[in-house]
Amino acid sequence: MIAADQIERVFRAEYGRAVAALIRRIGDIDLVEESVQDAFAIALERWPVAGVPPSPAGWIITTARNRAIDRLRRAALPLVIDDDPHVELEEGVVPNERLRLIFTCCHPALAPDAQVALTLRLLGGLTTAEIAHAFFVPEATMAQRLVRAKAKIRDAHIPYRVPAADDLAPRLRTVLAVLYLIFNEGYIASGGGELSRADLCVEAIRLGRLVHELLSDEPEVMGLLALMLLLESRRGARTNGQGELVPLGEQDRAQWDRDLIAEGHALVRRCLARDEPGPYQIQAAINAVHADAATAADTAWPQIVALYDQLLAIAPSPIAALNRAVAVAEVAGPEAALAIVDALAVDDYYLFHAIRADLLLRLGRDADAAYAAAIARTENARERAYLERRQRRRSSPR
Amino acid sequence: MPHYALSIYQPDAQPPSAEQLAPVMRKMNALIEDAKAQRVWVFNGGLHRPSTASVVRNQRGEVVTTDGPYVEGKEHIGGFLIVDVPDLDAALQWARRLVDGLSTPDFPDGLPVEVRPFAHVGPPR
């Protein structure tokens, strides 16, 4: 007997594969989506009785294709499906289809928020309501965003194609940026009460694995996947029993997920062997150094400072400079770190103020205004609660 | 195949001198010749300044003509190229060449180009 949640798992894993396999042949994205949903509805009825077919993905694709033909016939629309289903829809060719679709969803001609929404919708199989909820946007707004993006793909003839070699690097950067945006949105929610929305992180990692599987030789793809795995490994330790945020230095490292760390480490080692460093690879390496330390005190801070130096050399950003300052505080003391922080102009970023406050506190100076500035700039309730606890703690002996 | 209008946006400020424009014109001519050779070219042209425009509109049943332009802005469409290509990526490639051709040592940033698909060509469908 097969349970509905098993079919739900197949749905999550195979939805994108089925949509990708059909979209280039049928053209109409909405028709493809409706047909794939039909196919899963049929599976929900049939599989518990007849058993799961040997190739669930192949079954879903063939059934969805037949449903699409039915729908076109009923609407008396011309049949524009140009393939031999028995040859073309074999699973072997499908991964390329998903890669094509991810490049379409992340096409630079689409707005970044549309890229994210389309990727989650078409490749992740998330419903419009789920995406809207994840991004704190009214469902009608998200629906509108998706409708507009799909219309642009259709009307502007955005192709379903892996870009040519001379265009691959910038296009891949957009794809990776979309995946990291999805991951980050899940890791630290930009608003609301939950610190992290695990589903978005899981989805970003799933898509990261997919891109890695299809472009296994791209070092930045390895780097991003490693980075996400290493960050995800700390999920359980990032909050305590009361749901409060626990900073890296105070986390119970026994709670870190060793399997994810091992997988992340293996990818970082492959990146090092490749020696074509990029921003994601270096950030992954930094997190690998943290993962290597048995206790916070064992952290190889000089190595982390050196990695941030490398990151700033190839991708300068005030955020990276700020994070480097945190490592500098451990190597050269809070005074040196504060001098670096004070020279940065990132007033609207809450971590700038939170890190300043921490450094001021360590120097025995007044950190009240800095904490207040940090609290005023975070929309995440748990982050805010953490900062408020830190601010209160300042008055009691440490 | 789909048609795209590649519109060149130009600031309303005084245009560069003919001398400054000479290298741009050479690159533009080469690009147009190439587009024709590849059977991608449909039409191209450069427009006079917006102050030369007239506006015709229907005002309560009477068609009247006034001084233009219709929309006042900081930029205007200075010219355009219409191409007939398989998809947006191909149109964007031509737009990139156009942008590249529009930049000179005096104007390293050149001018932006808007790429917009035609809904139909010829009589409305």
8 A C-beta contact, residue A18 and residue A61: yes
pLDDT at A82 over 80: no
Looking at residue A92, its pLDDT comes to 43
The answer to whether B87 contacts A163, with C-beta atoms less than 8 Å apart, is no
Contacts of B29 (CB under 8 A, 6+ apart): none
The Cα of A70 is separated from the nearest Cα of chain B by a number of Å equal to 27
8 A C-beta contact, residue B50 and residue B76: yes
pLDDT in tens, A35-48: 999 999 999 999 88
Q: Looking at the partner chain, which of B88, B116, B119 has a beta carbon nearest the beta carbon of A158?
A: B88
Residue A32 pLDDT grade (very low, low, confident, very high; cuts 50, 70, 90) = very high
Looking at residue A398, its pLDDT comes to 44
Retrieve residue A366's tokens. 């007044």
Q: How many residues does chain B have?
A: 125
A165: chain B residues, CB-CB within 8 Å: none
Q: Does A159 touch chain B (CB under 8 A)?
A: yes
Distance, CA of A269 to CA of A261 (rounded, Å): 12
Looking at residue A86, its pLDDT comes to 43
Distance, CA of A181 to CA of A183 (rounded, Å): 5
pLDDT at A188 over 60: yes
pLDDT at A298 over 50: yes
In terms of Cβ atoms closer than 10 Å to its own Cβ (0-12, 13-18, 19+), residue A133 is middle
Compare A191 and A229 and report the one with higher pLDDT.
A229
The Cα of A25 is separated from the nearest Cα of chain B by a number of Å equal to 16
Mutual angle of helices A219-232 and A165-187, in 10-degree steps: 10
The answer to whether A157 contacts B92, with C-beta atoms less than 8 Å apart, is no
pLDDT at A87 over 60: no
H or E element in which residue A184 lies: helix A165-187
pLDDT at A3 over 80: no
pLDDT in tens, A199-244: 789 889 999 998 999 888 899 999 999 999 999 999 889 888 777 7
What's the sign of the alpha-carbon dihedral B80, B86, B87, B90? Answer: negative
Whose structure tokens read 């997920």? A257
Alpha-carbon separation of residue A190 from A60, A230, A384, B81 (angstroms): 36, 21, 12, 43
The amino acid occupying position A63 is T
A156: chain B residues, CB-CB within 8 Å: 88, 116-117
The Cα of A20 is separated from the nearest Cα of chain B by a number of Å equal to 18
Q: Does A109 touch chain B (CB under 8 A)?
A: yes
The answer to whether B86 contacts A157, with C-beta atoms less than 8 Å apart, is yes
How many CB atoms lie under 10 A from the CB of residue A40?
20
Residue A90 pLDDT grade (very low, low, confident, very high; cuts 50, 70, 90) = very low
Looking at residue A387, its pLDDT comes to 86
The Cα of A153 is separated from the nearest Cα of chain B by a number of Å equal to 9
Query: What φ, ψ does residue B58 adopt, rounded to 5°?
Result: -90, 120
Retrieve residue A344's tokens. 């940065």
Retrieve residue B3's tokens. 């048609």
Looking at residue A385, its pLDDT comes to 85
8 A C-beta contact, residue A183 and residue A170: no
Distance, CA of A6 to CA of A324 (rounded, Å): 45
Looking at residue A395, its pLDDT comes to 53
pLDDT at A316 over 70: yes
8 A C-beta contact, residue A170 and residue B92: no
Range 62-121 of B in CB contact (< 8 A) with A: 86-89, 92, 115-117, 119
Strand boundaries in chain B, DSSP class E: 3-11, 41-46, 54-59, 62-67, 75-84, 113-117
Alpha-carbon separation of residue A396 from A53, A348, A389 (angstroms): 64, 29, 11
Task: Return the residue in A157, A160, A161 with the most chain B beta carbons within 10 A, the one to mutate for interface testing.
Answer: A157
The answer to whether B89 contacts A156, with C-beta atoms less than 8 Å apart, is no
Residue A275 pLDDT grade (very low, low, confident, very high; cuts 50, 70, 90) = very high
Summary mean pLDDT of chain A: 87
Distance, CA of A35 to CA of A73 (rounded, Å): 13
Contacts of A205 (CB under 8 A, 6+ apart): A183, A225, A228, A229, A232
The answer to whether B87 contacts A155, with C-beta atoms less than 8 Å apart, is no
Task: Return the residue in B83, B89, B116, B121 with the most chain A beta carbons within 10 A, the one to mutate for interface testing.
Answer: B89
Q: Does A27 touch chain B (CB under 8 A)?
A: no
pLDDT in tens, A334-390: 999 999 999 997 888 888 999 999 999 999 999 999 999 999 988 778 788 888 888
Considering only CA atoms, which of A247, A261, A337 is closest in space to residue A293? A261
Distance, CA of A190 to CA of A380 (rounded, Å): 6
Q: Which residues of chain B carry a pLDDT beneath 70? A: 125
Distance, CA of A249 to CA of A3 (rounded, Å): 43
The answer to whether A109 contacts B87, with C-beta atoms less than 8 Å apart, is no
Looking at residue A383, its pLDDT comes to 82
Looking at residue A328, its pLDDT comes to 96
Looking at residue B109, its pLDDT comes to 82
Range 28-57 of B in CB contact (< 8 A) with A: none
Q: Does A44 touch chain B (CB under 8 A)?
A: no
Looking at residue B60, its pLDDT comes to 93
Contacts of A166 (CB under 8 A, 6+ apart): none
| Model ipTM value | 0.88
How many CB atoms lie under 10 A from the CB of residue A243?
12
pLDDT at A88 over 50: no
A159: chain B residues, CB-CB within 8 Å: 86-89
